[in-house]
Amino acid sequence: MPKKTKRQKILAQQRRHIPATLYPTPKTVHQQEATIPPTTFHFQQSHSSVKLQENHADKEELTVIQKDITKTLILAALAIIIELGVHSMLHGT
């Protein structure tokens, strides 16, 4: 994307400081940028309640992962024991 010209920078700075209704927008290729309204963000929940919900969800997720890893280790150990048993029966050691 090409760099902005000095004129574009000045116009952008004017748009930031002056409400959109007080100045006419120039008809250029960048007219679409001039018609985009400024966005504002409004937070409805406090940060502390969001953190508590995330921590609770994280704890539940960690317990599920821990149970899954435990099952995987048990099954892997069982498979290795069975494999060693079959090997010892076939080779008679």
The overall average pLDDT reported for the chain is 76
In angstroms, the CA 90 to CA 88 distance is: 6
| pLDDT class of 3 with cuts at 50, 70, 90 | confident
Is 58 buried (19+), middle (13-18) or exposed (0-12) by CB count in 10 A? Answer: exposed
pLDDT tens per residue across span 42-58:
666 665 555 556 677 78
- List pLDDT tens digits, range 8-32: 888 888 877 766 555 555 555 555 5
Cβ contact 59:53 at 8 Å: no
Predicted TM-score (pTM) of the model is: 0.40
